[in-house]
Amino acid sequence: MYVVVVASECAPVAKVGGLADVVFGLSRELEIRGNAVEIILPKYDCLWYDQIWGLTVAYENLWVPWHGGAIRCTVFFGFVHGRKCFFIDPHSDDNFFNRGIFYGHYDDPERFAFFCRAALEFMYKSDKRPDVIHCHDWQTGLVPVLLYEIYQHIGMGHQRACYTIHNFRHQGTCGEDVLWGTGLGDPGRYFVQERLQDTFNLLAINMMKGGIVYSNAVTTVSPRHAWEVRNTDLDCGLGGTLYTHRDKFSGVLNGLDYEQWNPETDPWIAGHFTAEDMAGKAEAKRALRERFFLRDADVPLVSYVGRLDSQKGMHLVRHALFYCIENGAQFVLLGSSPEPDTQAHFRHLKGQLNDNPDCHLEIGFSEQLAHQIYAGADMIVVPSMYEPCGLTQMIGLRYGTVPVVRSVGGLVDTVFDVDNSDRPKAERNGFVFDDVDFAAIESALARALKLWRDKPKAFAKLAATGMAQDYSWNVAGEHYLDIYERIRAK
């Protein structure tokens, strides 16, 4: 099968969150299974260029229709750790992808609407005719719309679209002029509830809604979240659309790239280890303490890695930090936020706790530090308000770092409480709490810290159970291939 992935992120060259890991990991798995996969990305100026091999011009003078005229683009090709990637570089005063950051500009809808049109124009002009075009999140929601409304009539009639939603909160709502820009200039057709009109703001279009309506298959990133967005207010207004299109909608649990996240071979960590021999983890813990100037003592080390975003339950993360240092444990945090207020709040907290030998806050994005924390910590907290899938708990499991999570979304599908779960004892791998208040996370943390202190062997066994479980792309790759097979043109 020939698959083209169109996305706004791909690890490690353009990574903001889990979307990047999924684009890379799924593409790799599909290739291992003998499929041809190509990835189309914007050529951001802030790409991690030293992770791209053999960057060369693949297509010059690609004229992409835009607002009645056209913008000239150059398309580059390069390998990202073996994946075949095309990077679209528009030349115009809009300067769409030379902003120093991936997202967070007032014209983000225009930037990515243009990218959608450019990706299709590139496929069309360079005679790429994949069986399936797989797009992700609101940034590429217009790809299926453009495919169906424009490109299928001019030679791309056999291409099918699969659309994966990683986060329902960001839907790409914007003014109608963006549609005009891409060439979809018939408001009577698009500006209706059944197609692209936003559910709440009747003056706006919604790119994610377009992706759902026009794709042949729609997925979200865990079975539990697929249920939540159909049955609770976590749908962010798209529940009706999902109900209408329920026959093509499902939840596929993300996998983890076991090559990239491997405590046995990870080049960034101080000690290597396996479920059978955990000795190297103690070395990783020691190195992490040294790096963060933490006191070396016989106490548990609790961690948080992730975006500093209200989605992630920041009040509970903050509470966990104080609970740990007041209860004889240490806490390390690695996170960043595009919101200046949140970033400032955590910088302030960092300043306040700077001299505390039992905690360290690292405000920023660092792939290397993330690996070192996953390897060196004993536990990882994930107290999310909502969590479509969540990768940090899966990475924690892979590195023998026991997850302490709230029972929401993909966390429900991956973490099973050691004391209370309907899963067999042999599958239980962490600590789970339900409510969003301080008492709930405290009780889960208290159980975790107590097990670590009172029953170290039981704690080590719990960590080893998580390490032995398989959350690789193996299963999810199979699922996506089934979906592609079902929708491909026969």
Q: How far is the CB of 480 from ligand ADP (least distance, A)?
A: 17
Closest to ligand ADP by CB, 271 vs 335, is 335
Q: How far is the CB of 48 from ligand ADP (least distance, A)?
A: 12
Q: Which amino acid is at 53?
A: W
- Where is 347: in which H helix or E strand? helix 340-352
Q: How far is the CB of 202 from ligand ADP (least distance, A)?
A: 29
Closest to ligand ADP by CB, 89 vs 309, is 309
| Cα(406)–Cα(426) distance, integer angstroms | 21
Per-residue binder mask for ligand ADP (CB under 6 A), 319-348, x = binder: ---------------xxx------------
| Cα(201)–Cα(182) distance, integer angstroms | 21
Q: How far is the CB of 375 from ligand ADP (least distance, A)?
A: 12
Closest to ligand ADP by CB, 310 vs 327, is 310
| Cα(336)–Cα(339) distance, integer angstroms | 9
Per-residue binder mask for ligand ADP (CB under 6 A), 142-161, x = binder: --------------------
Residue 16 has what DSSP assignment? S
Give the bridge partners for 84, in sequence order.
38, 79
Q: Which residues contact 34 (CB under 8 A, 6 or more apart)?
A: none
Per-residue binder mask for ligand ADP (CB under 6 A), 14-33, x = binder: ---xxx-x------------
Closest to ligand ADP by CB, 92 vs 366, is 366
- Beta strand 83-91 with 69-80 is antiparallel
Q: How far is the CB of 18 from ligand ADP (least distance, A)?
A: 2
The tokens 């943390």 sit on which residue?
445
Closest to ligand ADP by CB, 123 vs 361, is 361
Residue in 272, 289, 307, 360 binding ligand ADP, rule: CB under 6 A: 307
Residue in 162, 174, 305, 463 binding ligand ADP, rule: CB under 6 A: 305
| Cα(370)–Cα(20) distance, integer angstroms | 15
Q: How far is the CB of 21 from ligand ADP (least distance, A)?
A: 5
Closest to ligand ADP by CB, 335 vs 430, is 335
Closest to ligand ADP by CB, 101 vs 192, is 101
Contact 274, 264 (CB under 8 A): yes
Contact 6, 113 (CB under 8 A): no
| Cα(144)–Cα(282) distance, integer angstroms | 49
**How does DSSP assign 374-399, residue by residue?**
HHH-SEEEE--S--SS-SHHHHHHHT
State which of positions 346-405 bind ligand ADP (CB under 6 A).
365-367, 370, 389-392
Q: How far is the CB of 374 from ligand ADP (least distance, A)?
A: 7
Number of residues binding to ligand ADP, judged by CB under 6 A: 18
| Cα(71)–Cα(156) distance, integer angstroms | 22
The tokens 């009747």 sit on which residue?
202
Q: How far is the CB of 409 from ligand ADP (least distance, A)?
A: 10
C-alpha dihedral sign at 46, 343, 317, 432: negative
C-alpha dihedral sign at 225, 213, 479, 474: negative
Per-residue binder mask for ligand ADP (CB under 6 A), 255-294, x = binder: ----------------------------------------
Closest to ligand ADP by CB, 92 vs 336, is 336
Residue 264 corresponds to which tokens in the numbers above?
């046995």
Residues that bind ligand ADP (CB under 6 A): 17-19, 21, 305-307, 334-336, 365-367, 370, 389-392
